[in-house]
Structure 1
Amino acid sequence: MIRLRRPSRGRPAAGVHPVDEVPPTPTLLLYGLQHVMTMYAGLVAVPLIVGQALGLPFADISYLLAATLLVAGIATVLQTVGVWRIGARLPLVQGVSFASVASMIAVGTGAGGGRDGLTLIFGATLVAGVIGFLLAPLFHRLIRLFPPVVTGTVITVIGVSLLPVAVRWASGASEGQPGDPAAIGLAGFTLLVIVLVYRFLPAFWSRIAILLSLVAGTGLAAALGMADFSRVGEAAWFAVSTPLHFGTPQFSIAAIVSMTVVMLVIMTETTADLLAVGEIVDRKADGPRVVAGLRADTLSTAVSGGLLNSFPASAFAQNVGLVAITGIRSRFVVAAGGGILMVLGLFPKLGAVIASVPQPVLGGAGLALFATVAASGIRSLGGVDFDGHANLVIVAVALGLGVLPIAAPEFYEHFPEWFRTVFDSGISAAAVAAVLLNLLFHGVRDRSTSPVADAPAPVVDSH
């Protein structure tokens, strides 16, 4: 049994780290809803894209959506609350990884699409998750490879890599109308609401500035006829994702190899997100905590593919930005968001309401959120010694390689698939480059001098 310690009336309890604070229930749910609305569009995009690519009927795609929400909620609670040595116990939202989309479509369409393709994806996801779980302890040894010059660079690239997504949402490009003045105006209004809330309203309101901006932006969009709520009526009131709904997972060596490579990339990105959120909440992501976080990631992936009809799980970097911009560090707030996701997975009509938030509105909020992550990375780099050329070269080259696939997505089009799987992601490209360059210039530093030196594992009262 996990014992939660609740502070008195919103005031931090003596000796309790802000990450471990449990706000009053209404506040907890409100902040948790803000996390859900921030990541919802990215979360539902993967099952929609994969389902359509495999030629699944609308009923099956709807089922995938419900399963995705349920798994994301379970994985988020596991990551934030933790069980045994599984879960980083940091405010980190889990969802379906977008890095796996290309490989899953290739695996599924290669099997002829439909449910046959889907069960082959699930089988490969199950095995890749198990392999990742077994490999997680090895990442304990890699933490020393992430001094501030590396973590600061990677955190910066995380934010920069997310910004084009927000720009596409804000410009109307994601809806087939790039440069639409109405979309840009709606995004600008949403961003302005965030700025005004932070400038003029009391501290409590600034903590829900993103939620307020999404509500205000959606309200304006509805008044202008730019919001579509038709899917709310089409969605079912209640649905339960039953294990093995699409059939028993199927296995193929080629599919397993492909998804295992993707799993390693996801683990690299999750490590970067763990380090980033650890910096932001002032609880360093040491070796054991990173291993525990990766175990939550990979176990959720294995269970989702093996039983719960979903895809590889991963940390959501946009929610790291939400933690940074609001200053709400409680992991139990994020756990509440996980609970809300599970409820949405059971009641599709509620999920459809959140899905109706127009993308330009999400774009306006996303510009603030994602840029905040980049700013956090820049702040981390502020403590790096740039005397001489070594650290300057590390940051410059890693940043350049990280931005390259963002600026020119087709750059590696003619490279081998295994190479593209790693370097088509700006985050993993920057991480690999920064680590290798740091080794070239500085070698492996002693753990005692590392900014993420080992610390005691999180303590949880259990009986």
Structure 2
Amino acid sequence: MTRFRSSTSNPARPEDEKLGIAPSFAYGFQHVLTMYGGIIAVPLIIGQAAGMSSADIGMLIAACLFMGGLATLLQTLGVPFFGSQLPLVQGVSFAGVATMVAIVNGGGGIQTVFGAVIAASVIGLAITPLFSKIIKFFPPVVTGTVITTIGLTLMPVAANWAMGGNSKAPDYGSPANIGLAGLTLAVVLLLSKLGNATISRLSILLAIVAGTIVAVAFGMADFSKVGQGPIAAFPAPFHFGVPTFHVAAIISMLIVILVTLVETSADILAVSGIVGTKVTSRRLGDGLRADMVSSAISPIFGSFTQSAFAQNVGLVAITGIKSRFVVASGGVILVLLGLLPVMGRVVAAVPTAVLGGAGIVLFGTVAASGIRTLSTVNYKNNMNLIIVATSVGFGVIPIAAPTFYDKFPAWFSTIFHSGISSAAVMAILLNLLFNHLTRGNPENPSVFAAGTERRIAPEVLGSLKHGDRCDDGKLIDADGREVAVLEPDPHH
């Protein structure tokens, strides 16, 4: 069986394992493919809302790839006070799309968006010590709930990809697209079962390649535009003009930053649970500071807020590759994609339906990891079950009914439109209410508790012998004989 041997035989932490250059970049490329569609979607949406030309939108995309790579390197490798040193891929956050489009449509322009991102990120950087102190309020009942909700929240993304990605396209949801996604999914499962350790870990990448080859054969992939445009280009500072600062826009973006801090905290704790490493409040703070400083610098080059990508947490779980250096290799690839638009065009030509097939496994794995965490929670004589039930339900509302909060104030809908932040807020508050502020809690809480503990009288326990067992309501001794049960004395 072929295995890549680690150059660090017994690393102090699982995430510090080094696999070598070739496997690191192979696994890192998987991470890039997993998040590529998400990282280019935001500049596409914002650029179109701002009425930019295709050339300027291309510059936005290149800037987002470039800054996403730098932010990933900062988060994974780290410098003093910045970076969690965990396998987290950074990229443009979806949380701020609605807010940034609103700023553009309100007449502020792209320069006002950049100014709001810079100012709000600096404020977010200043308040990260507060967020880093709340780690004690993230026990498994909270983290498991949030991880599960992350996976559930991402499933509509996978379904949209499998249908073709563009709801306005004539072939959206066609049997051909869904069939291509199904084929990719089948290849992932087949390689996971039949391949050796290396092939199994590369199953996502190999399945995407196989799916793309099939798509080319049936005319469902178009690589004709790969040669169009410059081969290399450097994101120029202030290419789109000097940022402008407006109070209303900054306040709106600050709400997005708060949501980003909550989601990044959840992602850091989620990946630490998958990796099996310890995250202290200091390490959590370092990760949040990396997010904020990356977000503050991004607009200089034409990018937006940066945060950890939840879908890549699923890739860590499914491949079992916990090395942060693998993700750092993915960061290098992102930087190159930002500097070499031709490489970006190659990756962009991968059919969205192919990514959808892989996404079903990736995002489902996130949810499964959360369920595994929830299985370690004690549900006896407490309210943990209702905490999980209510929080997951709260997190699923934006998925099941995307317009649920449309009539609420903008600041409220910005926070709770994300299923991840909805579940995180509810789980944290309910955990505080039931497990920290215990005054008023009943001894055997409600029908939602898993039930009271079973007890046995000392005299009954003393009569049992080694090997006795209960079978179908009967007491059987070690020799297989039934032990008679005395009838109750009617006089007692």
Q: Does TM, scored on the shorter chain, surpass 0.5?
A: yes
Correspondent of 1:135 among 127, 130, 147? 127
The aligned counterpart of 1:329 is 322
Shift of 1:415: 0.6
Shift of 1:230: 3.0
Shift of 1:444: 6.5
Contact residue 165 and residue 352 of structure 2 kept, 8 A: no
Alignment of 1:352-431 (within 5 A): 352-388=345-381, 390-431=383-424
Deviates more, 1:229-238 or 1:310-319: 229-238
User: Does residue 1:279 correspond to 2:273, yes or no?
Assistant: yes
Shift of 1:140: 2.0
Name the amino acid aligned to 1:18.
Answer: P
Q: Distance in 2 between matches of 1:355 and 1:294?
A: 30
Contact residue 238 and residue 347 of structure 1 kept, 8 A: yes
Correspondent of 2:431 among 432, 438, 445? 438
Q: What RMSD over aligned residues (CA atoms) do the two structures have, in Å? A: 1.5
Contact residue 155 and residue 377 of structure 1 kept, 8 A: yes
Shift of 1:9: 3.9
Alignment of 1:240-259 (within 5 A): 240-259=234-253
The aligned counterpart of 2:214 is 220
The aligned counterpart of 2:202 is 208
Contact residue 12 and residue 18 of structure 1 kept, 8 A: no
Cα deviations by residue, 1:399-424 (Å, 9 ceiling, x for unpaired) = 00100000100111101101100110
Give 4+ residue runs of structure 1 displaced > 4 Å after superposition: none
The aligned counterpart of 2:157 is 165
User: Does residue 1:97 correspond to 2:112, yes or no?
Assistant: no
The aligned counterpart of 2:39 is 43
Q: 1:444 to 1:333 in 2, by over 3 A?
A: farther
TM-score by length of 2: 0.86
Secondary structure in structure 2 of the residue aligned to 1:226:
coil
The aligned counterpart of 1:16 is 12
Q: Distance in 1 between matches of 2:422 and 2:41?
A: 23
Contact residue 89 and residue 312 of structure 2 kept, 8 A: yes
Alignment of 1:315-354 (within 5 A): 315-354=308-347
Contact residue 40 and residue 64 of structure 2 kept, 8 A: yes
Name the amino acid aligned to 1:92.
Answer: L
The aligned counterpart of 1:459 is none
Deviates more, 1:169-178 or 1:291-300: 169-178
Q: Which runs of 5+ in 2 are unaligned?
A: 439-492
Secondary structure in structure 2 of the residue aligned to 1:179:
coil
Q: Distance in 2 between matches of 1:144 and 1:347?
A: 44
The aligned counterpart of 1:110 is 106
Q: Distance in 2 between matches of 1:413 and 1:15?
A: 49
Q: Distance in 2 between matches of 1:15 and 1:89?
A: 14
Q: Distance in 2 between matches of 1:410 and 1:388?
A: 37
Cα deviations by residue, 1:352-392 (Å, 9 ceiling, x for unpaired) = 10011111101000000000000000000000011245111
Contact residue 280 and residue 376 of structure 1 kept, 8 A: yes
Contact residue 15 and residue 86 of structure 2 kept, 8 A: yes
Cα deviations by residue, 1:204-230 (Å, 9 ceiling, x for unpaired) = 111111100110011100101001223
Shift of 1:234: 2.2
Q: Distance in 2 between matches of 1:45 and 1:28?
A: 26
Deviates more, 1:284-293 or 1:150-159: 284-293
The aligned counterpart of 1:76 is 72
Secondary structure in structure 1 of the residue aligned to 2:47:
helix
Q: Which has the larger radius of gyration?
A: 2
Q: Distance in 2 between matches of 1:15 and 1:354?
A: 33
Name the amino acid aligned to 1:254.
Answer: A
Name the amino acid aligned to 2:6.
Answer: G
Q: Distance in 1 between matches of 2:403 and 2:281?
A: 35
The aligned counterpart of 2:148 is 156
Contact residue 145 and residue 444 of structure 1 kept, 8 A: no
Shift of 1:145: 1.2
The aligned counterpart of 1:453 is none
Cα deviations by residue, 1:411-441 (Å, 9 ceiling, x for unpaired) = 1110110110011000000000011111111
Shift of 1:337: 0.5
Contact residue 77 and residue 85 of structure 2 kept, 8 A: yes
Secondary structure in structure 2 of the residue aligned to 1:414:
coil
Q: Distance in 2 between matches of 1:379 and 1:355?
A: 34
Identity of aligned residues (%): 56
Cα deviations by residue, 1:433-458 (Å, 9 ceiling, x for unpaired) = 0111111111169xxxxxxxxxxxxx
User: Does residue 1:181 correspond to 2:181, yes or no?
Assistant: no
Q: Distance in 2 between matches of 1:444 and 1:286?
A: 23
Contact residue 107 and residue 120 of structure 1 kept, 8 A: yes
Q: Aligned residue pairs: how many?
A: 434
Name the amino acid aligned to 1:431.
Answer: A
The aligned counterpart of 1:455 is none
Correspondent of 2:23 among 23, 27, 48? 27
Cα deviations by residue, 1:270-320 (Å, 9 ceiling, x for unpaired) = 000000000000112221111000000000000012x21110001000000
Q: Distance in 2 between matches of 1:343 and 1:20?
A: 24
Deviates more, 1:224-233 or 1:9-18: 9-18
Q: Distance in 2 between matches of 1:181 and 1:372?
A: 25
User: Does residue 1:60 correspond to 2:56, yes or no?
Assistant: yes
Contact residue 144 and residue 444 of structure 1 kept, 8 A: no
Contact residue 27 and residue 202 of structure 2 kept, 8 A: yes
Alignment of 1:447-458 (within 5 A): none
Q: Distance in 2 between matches of 1:173 and 1:308?
A: 28
